[in-house]
């Protein structure tokens, strides 16, 4: 076998998040050893690249103009705003949230040219108003950019009379207080609730 072909495959696989060189080589060998799986994967990947699009209402990735979640009329009139489609999947997998979603595909970064329009924030406002959302839940990362994006969205939505909340933050289960940083402890104190 031509090693440069195998290396090329491993190099491509290694560009995926969380895939190091050894894992990429292991995957490359597995695909070469199982041609049927390699063909199936190739077809699925080509179809996904060809057919994937953003939902016109929530911007989540799917194969239709409007995703299954947005078509589900039994959902609550709330919107959970997330950073990525993976975040949306994580929220949905909890089984606790039964409202709608809105995927930003980023955070505000004016120096990089990412403003409210690039994140679809005007579309989020229209969606919240047309849905008569009772609440918009901001479920963005606790980074500087995430916090700035949350503050901007909250200001815009509250000006429309829409209730905006943020995910609770604080100590994760099993965490030891003595090892928590002061910001985490501060957030845990602010977000405390009755036992």
Which domain, by its residues, includes 45?
3-51
What pLDDT is attached to residue 2? 58
Q: How many domains does the chain have?
A: 2
What pLDDT is attached to residue 194? 58
What pLDDT is attached to residue 1? 53
In the chain, the N- to C-terminal Cα span, in Å, equals 64
DSSP structure class, residue 1: -
Q: Are residues 34 and 102 in the same domain?
A: no
Q: Can you give the CATH number for the domain in which 39 is found?
A: 1.10.8.420
Contact 37, 31 (CB under 8 A): yes
Q: Are residues 101 and 139 in the same domain?
A: yes
Q: Are residues 130 and 80 in the same domain?
A: yes
Residue at 145 is within a domain = yes
What pLDDT is attached to residue 182? 82
Q: Can you give the CATH number for the domain in which 77 is found?
A: 3.40.1360.10
Residue at 36 is within a domain = yes
Q: Are residues 72 and 121 in the same domain?
A: yes
Q: Are residues 38 and 71 in the same domain?
A: no
Residue at 117 is within a domain = yes
Q: Are residues 19 and 83 in the same domain?
A: no
Contact 58, 69 (CB under 8 A): yes
What pLDDT is attached to residue 186? 82
The verdict on pTM exceeding 0.85 is no
CA distances from 175 to 170, 171, 181 (A): 10, 6, 11
Q: Are residues 39 and 118 in the same domain?
A: no
- Report, in angstroms and rounded to the nearest whole number, the Rg of the chain calculated over CA atoms: 21
Q: Consecutive sets of 10 residues in the chain, 195 residues long: mean pLDDT of each?
A: 82 96 96 96 94 96 95 97 95 93 96 96 98 96 91 97 90 78 80 67
Residue at 193 is within a domain = no
């Amino acid at each position: 076998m031509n090693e440069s072909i195998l290396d090329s495959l491993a190099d491509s696989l290694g560009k995926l998040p969380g895939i190091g060189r050894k894992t990429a080589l292991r995957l490359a060998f597995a695909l070469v050893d199982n041609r049927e799986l390699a063909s199936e994967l190739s077809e699925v990947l080509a179809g996904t690249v060809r057919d994937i699009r953003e939902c016109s209402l929530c911007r989540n990735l799917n194969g239709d103009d409007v995703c299954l979640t947005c078509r589900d009329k039994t959902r609550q009139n709330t919107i959970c705003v997330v950073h990525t489609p993976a975040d949306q999947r994580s929220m949905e997998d909890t089984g606790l949230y039964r409202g709608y979603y809105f995927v930003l595909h980023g955070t505000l970064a004016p120096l990089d040219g990412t403003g409210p329009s690039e994140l679809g924030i005007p579309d989020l406002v229209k969606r919240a108003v047309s849905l008569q959302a009772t609440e918009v839940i901001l479920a963005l990362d606790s980074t500087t950019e995430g916090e700035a994006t949350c503050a901007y969205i909250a200001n815009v939505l509250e000006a429309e009379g829409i209730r905006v909340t943020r995910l609770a933050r604080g100590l994760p289960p099993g965490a030891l207080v003595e090892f928590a940083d002061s910001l985490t402890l501060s957030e845990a104190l602010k977000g405390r609730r009755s036992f």
